[in-house]
């Protein structure tokens, strides 16, 4: 929610059952393993891969276990010297507790019923306090952070950087900045944990399940088991990735590794709607009157999906830390949303029942049809806040909700706050920009089980925006102050120009900047950007450049065949009916005048300041029924939904979605693998 590679080390480690043996082994090793620079780019790009191999051999940890744990911690990204919000460093995400930005507060006094009293804004934070509704403790009712809540009955702690440094006898500072030392530290911690559990340093990955459970330091049984299940699932599937630092890393698949019994279901408050393998809490948002004038907050009662289909899931980031957001969601004068997800560990807190309408998107029309999910973080600092555990928790939750409510898993139904259609023309400048250009939509949809990919040949009539996230690093400014250049970072967003030339002006958004100001490269300026997974109609091609129809204009982006930023797509498009020179686009699909019952005032239409002209095409993935709900006063029961007969199509008009009347358009098919002539269909046909 936007407000505003190393010398090989002799294999001298011996199998023994005491941590001291590990220390003695480490003492015989060189204290520093900083890799020499090399003119061979291929060898340089294998440094991290070799580090995993060497550390696994040195500490007798299966390489697949070490690599998969690292992937779950950081997706193998190092971010040298830059900690996450939890104070975690390097590819193993070793936590320097002195650097942690989000340390859990101490609990307050104990009440007569034995519950600890926590500050109101922290009651859902997993620190052992009661939930916002007086329900189970913060870690899903599993006993907080004590031994009773730890996997297997043991007290656990995060993968501690200082302890890892002692184990490998290397200065702690080096583990923060040197990826090789960081990997050695992580391997040493895994081996030490395995010994502490009384288990041998086995070559079988399956024998390391309990050590893996403990690595992230979560005291919650369900979260720990889910984490281990993810680690071993990745071992079976394998993985390959080029990291943010340009390291080429491959984990070969090991399908013969046996699965472990699945995570046990978490105990949780009865109000919570969550998948069984996710730890979730409840912290209620208030529905109450504010004053004698009838003002109220901070959400609306509804009876979804019986009175209104849930069609969208909106992804937000908080642009604040989570304790502050918990204050906000408990304030009836503020906004609301359905779920919050914590950055450090992916813990989920629900605030509004999914049947009810939260005030989260900036559009009442979208609110009525959507579920809003806030992710703790700041769009300008993704390496710190957008953690792998948060991505995975979010994807589990969204996958569960999408199945429950039959929400299509595409980018016209699962989208960001920055893609919400503006309800009216004058609201466009106030619409939000989160989760921003650094949210990894490609990875997110892989986690959802709906990977984004080409569905047509390269010369198709439609394209899906799909840059390689890690290597596609466009310029941005404003991450650390106005005009300052942001550090290079992978991005999901592709910038658009008026001509097929990098030096051509950026596309302008007349709604966002009605005064005519130019689009910029600011990280929050999305006026000339499109995003991964969005699908557009091709307007033209010129060499390495592709043009799409975008808000009524041709918009160009560089799309070289060797490093494409978009791939071929098939599907349906709309185009103005023959005989119509242009048609309006809207930010909501409102009923016709005759549909409003007596006593309900008709909502005024507000066409958006973008014109769709004859011959232009825009991609649609759904027909939409018109509806309106008068949610302007406090009521003990949900207000009736006004349903119209008029049908609309939801389209990808620009960076945001929009709607067009079905009667104004014909449907055009873009078949897989083909370009050129396309057949028309009746405008009332549902895609």
Note the pLDDT of residue 453: 97
Exposure b/e, 446-455, CB count within 10 A at least 16 = b:
ebbebebebb
What mean pLDDT, rounded, does the chain reach? Answer: 85
For the segment 573-586, the average pLDDT, to the nearest whole number, is 97
Bridge pairing between strands 88-89 and 94-95: antiparallel
pLDDT(109) > 50 = no
Least trusted range by pLDDT, from 2-16, 114-128, 460-474, 562-576: 114-128
Task: Give pLDDT, residue 375.
Answer: 98
Altogether, the residues listed in the chain come to a count of 687
Q: How far is CA 538 from the centre of its chain?
A: 28
Tell me the C-alpha distance between 310 and 654, whole Å.
23
448-486 per-position pLDDT tens digit? 999 999 999 999 999 999 999 989 999 999 999 888 999
Query: Angle, nearest 10°, between helix axes 388-405 and 63-74?
Result: 80
Burial string for 411-444 (b: 16+ CB within 10 Å, else e) reads bbbbbbbbbbbbbbbebbeebbbbbbbbbbbbbb
Closest CA to 559 of 488, 505, 499, 494: 494
Q: Which residue has the higher pLDDT, 147 or 579?
A: 579
pLDDT for res 292: 87
Average pLDDT for 489-507: 97
- Give the pLDDT confidence score for residue 269 in this predicted structure: 82
State phi, psi for 594 to the nearest 5 degrees. Answer: -65, -15
Distance CA 233, CA 221 (A): 18
How far is Cα 94 from Cα 294, in angstroms, rounded to an integer?
52
> Which burial class, exposed, middle or buried, applies to 255 when counting CB atoms under 10 A from its CB (0-12, 13-18, 19+)?
exposed
Confidence of residue 656 (pLDDT cuts 50, 70, 90): very high
- Assess contact for 339 and 373: CB atoms under 8 A: yes
Render pLDDT for 116-152 as a digit per residue (tens, 0 to 9): 222 222 223 332 332 333 333 333 333 333 333 445 5
3-state SS, residue 473: coil
Q: Concatenate the DSSP letters of all residues of 480-528 into one string.
A: TEEEEEPPP---SEEE-BSSSSTTSPBPP-TTT-TT-PPP--BTT--TT
pLDDT (tens digit, 9 = 90+) per residue, 361-373? 999 999 999 999 9
Q: Is the pLDDT of residue 187 over 50?
A: yes
Q: What is the pLDDT of residues 375-400, one digit of tens each?
A: 999 999 998 999 999 999 999 999 99
Mean pLDDT for the stretch of residues 337-349? 95
3-state secondary structure of 325: helix
- pLDDT at position 118 is 26
Which pLDDT score is estimated for 24? 36
* Domains of the chain and any CATH numbers: 19-103+152-251 (1.10.530), 284-572 (3.40.80.10), 573-681 (no CATH)
Say what percent of the chain tops pLDDT 70.
82
Residue 475, helix vs strand vs coil: coil
Instruction: Look at residue 515 in the predicted model and tell me its pLDDT.
Output: 85
**Which residues are 373's β-sheet partners?**
315, 339
Element (H, E) at 526: none
pLDDT at 621: 95
Measured from the Cβ of residue 560, the count of other Cβ atoms closer than 10 Å reads 10
pLDDT in tens, 256-275: 998 777 656 656 788 899 99
What residues pair up with 542 in beta bridges, in sequence order?
545
Q: What is the pLDDT of residue 287?
A: 97
Measured distance CA(204)–CA(264) in Å, rounded: 24
Distance CA 571, CA 658 (A): 17
Which of 64, 101, 94 minimizes the C-alpha distance to 79? 94
> How many Å is the Cα radius of gyration of the chain?
26
Largest CA distance in the chain: 86
Q: How far apart are CA 653 and CA 343, in angstroms?
A: 32
pLDDT in tens, 18-75: 333 433 333 333 333 333 333 456 678 899 999 999 999 999 999 999 999 999 999 9
């Amino acid at each position: 929610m936007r407000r505003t590679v190393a010398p090989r080390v002799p294999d001298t480690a011996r199998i023994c059952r005491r941590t001291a043996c590990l220390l003695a082994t480490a003492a015989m090793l060189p204290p520093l393993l900083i890799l020499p620079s090399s003119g061979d780019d291929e060898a340089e790009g294998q440094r991290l891969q070799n580090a995993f191999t060497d550390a696994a051999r040195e500490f007798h940890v299966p390489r697949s276990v070490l690599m998969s744990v690292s992937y779950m911690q950081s997706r193998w990204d190092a971010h040298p010297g830059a900690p996450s919000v939890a104070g975690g460093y390097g590819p193993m995400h070793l936590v320097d507790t002195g650097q942690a930005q989000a340390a859990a507060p101490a609990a307050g006094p104990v009440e007569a019923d034995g519950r600890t009293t926590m500050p109101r804004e922290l009651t859902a934070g997993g620190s052992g306090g009661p939930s916002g509704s007086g329900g189970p403790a913060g870690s899903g009712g599993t006993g907080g952070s004590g031994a009773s809540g730890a996997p297997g009955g043991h007290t656990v702690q995060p993968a501690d950087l200082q302890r890892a440094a002692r184990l490998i006898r290397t200065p702690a500072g080096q583990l923060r900045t040197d990826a090789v030392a960081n990997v050695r530290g992580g391997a040493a911690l895994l081996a030490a944990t395995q010994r502490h559990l009384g288990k041998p340093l086995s070559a079988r990955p399956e024998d390391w399940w309990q050590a893996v459970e403990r690595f992230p330091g979560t005291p919650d049984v369900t979260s720990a088991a889910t984490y281990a299940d993810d680690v071993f699932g990745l071992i079976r599937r394998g993985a390959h990735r080029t990291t943010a630092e340009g390291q080429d890393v491959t984990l070969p698949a090991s399908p013969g590794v046996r699965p472990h019994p699945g995570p046990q279901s978490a105990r949780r408050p009865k109000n919570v709607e969550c998948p069984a393998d996710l730890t979730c809490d409840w912290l209620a948002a208030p529905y109450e009157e504010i004053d004698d004038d009838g003002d109220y907050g901070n959400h609306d009662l509804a009876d979804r999906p019986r009175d209104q289909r849930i069609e969208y899931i909106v992804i937000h980031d908080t642009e604040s830390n989570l304790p502050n957001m918990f204050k906000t969601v408990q304030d009836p004068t503020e906004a609301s949303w359905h779920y919050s997800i914590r950055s450090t560990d992916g813990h989920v807190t629900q605030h509004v029942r999914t049947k009810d309408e939260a005030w989260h998107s900036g559009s009442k029309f979208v609110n009525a049809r959507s579920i809003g999910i806030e992710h703790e973080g700041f769009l300008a600092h993704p390496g710190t806040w957008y953690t792998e555990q948060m991505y995975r928790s979010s994807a589990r939750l969204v996958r569960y909700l999408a199945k429950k409510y039959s929400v299509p898993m595409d980018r016209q139904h699962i989208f960001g706050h920055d893609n919400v259609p503006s309800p009216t023309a004058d609201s466009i400048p106030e619409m939000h920009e989160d989760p921003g250009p650094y949210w990894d939509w490609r990875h997110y949809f892989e986690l959802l089980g709906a990977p984004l990919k080409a569905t047509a040949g390269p010369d198709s009539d439609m394209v899906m925006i799909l840059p390689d996230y890690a290597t596609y690093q466009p310029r941005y400014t404003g991450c650390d102050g106005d005009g300052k250049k942001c550090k290079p970072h992978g991005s999901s967003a592709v910038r658009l120009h008026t001509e097929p030339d990098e030096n051509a002006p950026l596309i302008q958004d007349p709604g966002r900047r009605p005064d005519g100001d130019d689009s910029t490269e600011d990280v929050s300026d999305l006026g000339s950007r499109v995003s991964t997974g969005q699908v557009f109609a091709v307007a033209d091609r010129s060499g390495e450049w592709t043009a799409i129809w975008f808000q009524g204009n041709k918009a160009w982006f560089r799309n070289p065949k060797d490093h494409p930023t978009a791939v071929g797509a098939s599907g349906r498009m709309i185009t103005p009916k023959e005989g119509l020179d242009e048609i309006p686009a809207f930010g909501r699909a409102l009923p016709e005048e005759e549909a409003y019952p007596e006593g309900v005032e008709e909502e005024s239409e507000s066409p958006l300041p973008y014109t769709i002209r004859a011959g232009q095409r825009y991609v649609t993935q759904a027909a939409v029924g018109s509806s309106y709900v008068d949610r302007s006063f406090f009521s003990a029961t949900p207000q009736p939904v006004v349903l119209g007969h008029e049908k609309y199509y939801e389209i990808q008009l620009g960076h945001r979605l929009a709607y067009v009347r079905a009667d104004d358009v014909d449907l055009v098919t873009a078949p897989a693998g083909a370009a050129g002539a396309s057949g028309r269909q009746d405008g009332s046909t549902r895609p």
